């Protein structure tokens, strides 16, 4: 019996609709296995074929993969290309010039469309503007922007001139922005006067001014400001310039800077288990190849599709599946400035109906929030709207629980749209493990099988592969084109964090636990195995939050753990020891509020703890180590059943059991 047939016979699998299979880019499991076999047989020939077919090269590469300095891998290195040329000019040449590239909907519902021709012009003018400021190949540019066409254009303009961008999510604080500017050594900052979300404005330029005034950001020579609201801002005449002034009178043609495929396209900061956020560095060629290919494979993108990814361009999902992937394949996409619950919790459904979206890609947290809203108020239920345009749904960022999966499948997809539960990370550049919508039979809660060419496995601490049914560490055994290249300015951290010696030094350690199904071999991600939390699909290091807390004058010690949350997946729970006696009653509430606001200011609102508990001390071993696994149990209001014989102060547990 073929692998395909055995999958078909497995009970509990939901097969993709026949219609979908018929027209899909990868049609049926035999086609999937054929690609996997091609990659197995000759790994380099496989990737070389795909890279030649799916990217436009200015000079073709002769070496596909250079492993001589592993784990610092190089892909297609002697080939040259330009990412913005691939995303824009290529579409002008192949008949997409007048196709809508982006249909942008603002927070208050205003729609602006831009064609490929117009976007090309905008990007060229902006690229020429940046050049006129002295920004050039290899320079770093930090982008601190709201969701806007100009945000995408700023990223593309950097790519056009060979500058490396580093986008900082608009919800991060002045301090977080400052740290990232310093680490990247950026020469320019592109920001906006204000950001608008859910009817409220956030003063991005003022926050940026704060960041720059704090010291250490002297590398920044110019600040470019996009006028979003017209709100009042301070402009430093020697440093700051309006985006529209910068673009005025610039030529609408800008010769692309041809760069090596290995040229750093961007740095994106993300949280790890220790220390400050790390600058994940991505390449130009390998990254774009996978961005384009996964649009075709995972999303099965067709010319008639209206694609909508609800992520923010400040995260990797927005990079790959708004700024680069969709444009690289000439898609028409929707881009949304606001939030799913404003003006009400039917916003997504109304937008799908209005724009006739065919592919919808969002996060489990959003789905769970909207399930709650629909249950509370029937008018918010997706069943009230015409969602028949949809043909494919996607999920990303965190595990999707089977109940939410089923609701999404039935109520949003009308039981007719496959769901692609895409597992990947900032570091992987694009999808790693995901169903293919016209091939893979689905199981709610499982991201199913690796994409063809991705050698994923589950191993133990020594790197030995585990049999199906046994949980372990998720690894990728061979390098792949869109993998991160290094941690910016810190190659040791790259090697130690992602390619540990214990696993042989060349196997990529994802940082997630996983288990494969006994019968199907399907992967289920069981969550992070390090000190990284996933709150609403946002990645957060417990260490970062602890550092922010102990920087507060009142705090002596703090320990941060994750607590299960029905909506956000995980929530931040903090155990705090103050420099003074343990507070109670209203005073405790007031200090807790002060600490929450403090973390919001230090890192950003997304890092605000949901729960704070005060103690006279924290549970520690005799050697003084905080026992976090015990705190995790307490945070989840479970009974401590673990061995606590090594605990020096067991009496403290009683005190920490109580939430405020």
If DSSP codes are grouped into helix, strand and coil, which group holds residue 627? Answer: coil
Based on the shown chain and the rule CB under 6 A, indicate whether residue 396 belongs to the binding site for ligand PRX.
yes
Least Cβ distance, residue 315 to ligand PRX (angstroms)? 6
The backbone torsions φ and ψ at residue 261, rounded to the nearest 5 degrees and listed phi first, read: -55, -25
Nearer to ligand PRX, 317 or 369 (CB): 317
Nearer to ligand PRX, 397 or 450 (CB): 397
Place of tokens 């001139």: 161
Can you read off the two tokens belonging to residue 241?
Answer: 């310039």
Least Cβ distance, residue 270 to ligand PRX (angstroms)? 5
Least Cβ distance, residue 294 to ligand PRX (angstroms)? 11
Based on the shown chain and the rule CB under 6 A, indicate whether residue 143 belongs to the binding site for ligand PRX.
no
Q: What is the DSSP string of 96-157?
A: -TTSEEEEEE-TTS-EEEEEHHHHHHHHHHHHHHHHHTT--TT-EEEEE--SSHHHHHHHHH
Nearer to ligand PRX, 308 or 424 (CB): 424
Nearer to ligand PRX, 75 or 269 (CB): 269
Contact with ligand PRX (CB under 6 A) among 424, 480, 494, 575: 424
Task: Give CA–CA dist 569/532, Å, rounded.
Answer: 13
Please, which residues have CB within 8 angstroms of residue 169's CB and are 6 or more apart in sequence? Answer: 312, 314, 315, 604
- Is 339:197 a contact under the CB 8 Å cutoff? yes
What's the gap between Cα 135 and its chain centre?
27
Q: How far is CA 219 from CA 19, 141, 237, 488, in A?
A: 56, 10, 17, 16
The backbone torsions φ and ψ at residue 459, rounded to the nearest 5 degrees and listed phi first, read: -130, 170
Based on the shown chain and the rule CB under 6 A, indicate whether residue 422 belongs to the binding site for ligand PRX.
yes
Least Cβ distance, residue 591 to ligand PRX (angstroms)? 31
Stretch that binds ligand PRX, among 195-203, 225-233, 504-512, 611-619 (CB under 6 A): 504-512
CA geometry: angle 291, 93, 326, nearest 5 deg: 25
Contact with ligand PRX (CB under 6 A) among 146, 429, 511, 562: 511
Radius of gyration of the chain (CA): 25
Preceding amide of 343 cis, omega within 30: yes
Stretch that binds ligand PRX, among 161-169, 247-255, 395-403, 492-500 (CB under 6 A): 395-403
Least Cβ distance, residue 527 to ligand PRX (angstroms)? 6
Nearer to ligand PRX, 282 or 620 (CB): 282
Contact with ligand PRX (CB under 6 A) among 115, 176, 426, 482: 426
Contact with ligand PRX (CB under 6 A) among 528, 564, 601, 610: 528
String marking each residue 237-276 x if it binds ligand PRX according to CB under 6 A: ---------------------------------x------
- Is 569:525 a contact under the CB 8 Å cutoff? no
**640-656 burial: b if 16+ Cβ within 10 Å, else e:** eeeeeeebebeebbeeb
Is 585 exposed, middle or buried (CB count within 10 Å of its CB: 0-12, 13-18, 19+)?
A: exposed
- Is 434:423 a contact under the CB 8 Å cutoff? yes
Least Cβ distance, residue 518 to ligand PRX (angstroms)? 20
Least Cβ distance, residue 424 to ligand PRX (angstroms)? 5
Based on the shown chain and the rule CB under 6 A, indicate whether residue 294 belongs to the binding site for ligand PRX.
no
The Cβ of residue 7 has, within 10 Å, a number of other Cβ atoms equal to 21
- Is 359:392 a contact under the CB 8 Å cutoff? yes
Q: What is the DSSP string of 431-456?
A: --B---TTTPPB-TT--BSBPTT--E
Based on the shown chain and the rule CB under 6 A, indicate whether residue 281 belongs to the binding site for ligand PRX.
no
Based on the shown chain and the rule CB under 6 A, indicate whether residue 421 belongs to the binding site for ligand PRX.
yes
Least Cβ distance, residue 280 to ligand PRX (angstroms)? 8
The Cβ of residue 623 has, within 10 Å, a number of other Cβ atoms equal to 7
Which element (helix H / strand E) includes 373? helix 364-376
Nearer to ligand PRX, 485 or 620 (CB): 485
String marking each residue 455-494 x if it binds ligand PRX according to CB under 6 A: ----------------------------------------
First to last CA, the chain: 59
Residues of span 397-416 touching ligand PRX by CB under 6 A: 397-399
Length of the chain (residues): 660
Nearer to ligand PRX, 367 or 627 (CB): 367
Stretch that binds ligand PRX, among 10-18, 193-201, 424-432, 586-594 (CB under 6 A): 424-432
Based on the shown chain and the rule CB under 6 A, indicate whether residue 319 belongs to the binding site for ligand PRX.
no
Nearer to ligand PRX, 91 or 320 (CB): 320
Stretch that binds ligand PRX, among 22-30, 507-515, 621-629, 647-655 (CB under 6 A): 507-515
Which element (helix H / strand E) includes 335? strand 332-336
Nearer to ligand PRX, 127 or 370 (CB): 370
Q: What is the DSSP string of 194-220?
A: -EEETTEEE-HHHHHHHHHHTSS-TT-
Beta pairing partners, 278? 270
Contact with ligand PRX (CB under 6 A) among 46, 336, 423, 494: 423
Nearer to ligand PRX, 74 or 539 (CB): 539
The backbone torsions φ and ψ at residue 457, rounded to the nearest 5 degrees and listed phi first, read: -155, 165
Least Cβ distance, residue 447 to ligand PRX (angstroms)? 5
Can you read off the two tokens belonging to residue 531?
Answer: 């000190």
Nearer to ligand PRX, 161 or 367 (CB): 367
Nearer to ligand PRX, 381 or 539 (CB): 539
Based on the shown chain and the rule CB under 6 A, indicate whether residue 179 belongs to the binding site for ligand PRX.
no
Least Cβ distance, residue 433 to ligand PRX (angstroms)? 8
Based on the shown chain and the rule CB under 6 A, indicate whether residue 525 belongs to the binding site for ligand PRX.
yes
Nearer to ligand PRX, 508 or 598 (CB): 508
Can you read off the two tokens belonging to residue 237?
Answer: 């005449």
Place of tokens 């985006």: 243
Nearest residue to ligand PRX, by Cβ distance, number only: 426
Based on the shown chain and the rule CB under 6 A, indicate whether residue 425 belongs to the binding site for ligand PRX.
yes
Preceding amide of 409 cis, omega within 30: no
Stretch that binds ligand PRX, among 291-299, 411-419, 421-429, 485-493 (CB under 6 A): 421-429
DSSP code of 66?
Answer: E
Task: Give CA–CA dist 574/611, Å, rounded.
Answer: 6
Stretch that binds ligand PRX, among 21-29, 498-506, 508-516, 550-558 (CB under 6 A): 508-516
Nearer to ligand PRX, 28 or 513 (CB): 513
Based on the shown chain and the rule CB under 6 A, indicate whether residue 534 belongs to the binding site for ligand PRX.
yes
Based on the shown chain and the rule CB under 6 A, indicate whether residue 512 belongs to the binding site for ligand PRX.
yes
Q: Total residues contacting ligand PRX (rule CB under 6 A)?
A: 21
Instruction: Give residues in contact with ligand PRX (CB under 6 A).
Output: 270, 316-317, 396-399, 421-426, 447, 510-512, 525, 528, 534, 539
């Amino acid at each position: 019996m073929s692998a395909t047939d055995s999958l078909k016979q497995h009970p509990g699998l939901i097969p993709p609709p026949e219609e979908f299979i018929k027209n899909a880019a990868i049609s049926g499991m035999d086609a999937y296995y054929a690609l996997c076999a091609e990659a197995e047989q000759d790994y380099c020939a496989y990737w070389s074929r795909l890279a030649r077919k799916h990217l436009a090269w200015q000079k073709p590469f002769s070496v596909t993969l250079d492993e001589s300095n592993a784990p610092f891998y190089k892909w297609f290195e002697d080939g040259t290309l330009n990412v913005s040329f691939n995303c824009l000019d290529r579409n002008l040449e192949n008949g997409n010039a007048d196709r809508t590239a982006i249909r942008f909907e603002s927070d208050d519902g205003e729609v602006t469309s831009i064609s490929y021709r117009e976007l090309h012009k905008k990007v060229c003018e902006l690229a020429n503007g940046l050049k006129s400021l002295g920004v050039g190949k290899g320079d770093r540019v930090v982008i601190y922007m709201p969701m806007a066409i100009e945000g995408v254009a700023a990223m593309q303009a950097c790519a056009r001139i060979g500058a490396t961008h580093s986008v900082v999510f608009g919800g991060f604080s002045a301090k977080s922005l400052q740290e990232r500017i310093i680490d990247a050594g950026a020469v320019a900052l592109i920001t906006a006067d204000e950001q608008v979300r859910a009817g409220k404005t956030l003063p991005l330029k003022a926050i940026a001014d704060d960041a720059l005034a704090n010291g250490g950001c002297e590398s920044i020579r110019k600040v470019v400001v996009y006028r979003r609201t017209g709100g009042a801002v301070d402009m430093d005449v020697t440093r700051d310039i309006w985006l529209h002034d910068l673009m005025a009178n610039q030529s609408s043609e800008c010769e692309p800077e041809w760069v090596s495929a290995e040229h750093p396209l961007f740095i994106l900061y993300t949280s790890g288990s220790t220390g400050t956020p790390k600058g994940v560095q991505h390449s130009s060629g390998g990254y774009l190849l996978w961005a384009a290919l996964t649009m075709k494979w995972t999303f099965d993108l067709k010319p008639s599709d209206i694609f909508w990814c609800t992520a923010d361009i400040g995260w990797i999902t927005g990079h790959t599946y708004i700024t680069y992937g969709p444009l690289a394949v000439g898609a028409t996409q929707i881009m949304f400035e606001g939030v799913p619950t404003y003006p009400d919790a039917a916003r997504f459904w109304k937008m799908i109906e209005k724009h006739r979206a065919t592919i919808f890609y969002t996060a489990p947290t959003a789905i769970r929030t909207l399930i709650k809203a629909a249950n509370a108020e029937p008018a918010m239920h997706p069943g009230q709207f015409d969602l028949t345009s949809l043909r494919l749904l996607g999920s990303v960022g965190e595990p999707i629980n089977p109940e939410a999966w089923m609701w999404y499948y039935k109520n949003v997809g009308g039981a007719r749209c496959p769901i692609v539960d895409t597992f990947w990370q900032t570091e992987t550049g694009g999808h790693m493990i995901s169903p293919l919508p016209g091939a893979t039979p689905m199981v709610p809660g499982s991201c199913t099988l690796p994409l063809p060419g991705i050698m994923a496995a589950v191993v133990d601490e020594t790197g030995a592969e585990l049999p199906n049914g046994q949980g372990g560490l998720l690894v990728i055994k061979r390098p792949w084109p869109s993998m991160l290249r290094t941690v910016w300015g810190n190659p040791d951290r790259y090697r130690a964090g992602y390619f540990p010696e214990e696993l042989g030094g060349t196997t990529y350690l994802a940082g997630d636990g996983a288990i494969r199904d006994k019968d199907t071999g399907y992967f289920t991600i069981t969550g992070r195995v390090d000190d990284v939390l996933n709150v609403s699909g946002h990645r957060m290091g417990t260490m970062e939050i602890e550092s922010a807390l102990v920087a507060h004058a009142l705090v002596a010690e703090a320990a941060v753990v994750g607590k299960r949350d029905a909506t956000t997946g995980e929530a931040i729970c903090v155990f705090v020891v103050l420099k003074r006696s343990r507070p109670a009653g209203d005073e405790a509430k007031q200090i807790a509020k002060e600490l929450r606001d403090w973390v919001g200011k230090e890192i950003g609102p997304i890092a605000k703890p949901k729960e704070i508990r005060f103690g006279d001390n924290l549970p520690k071993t005799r050697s003084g180590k905080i026992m976090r696994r015990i705190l995790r149990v307490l945070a989840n209001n479970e009974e401590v059943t673990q061995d606590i014989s090594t605990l020096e102060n067991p009496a403290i547990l009683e005190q920490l059991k109580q939430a405020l």
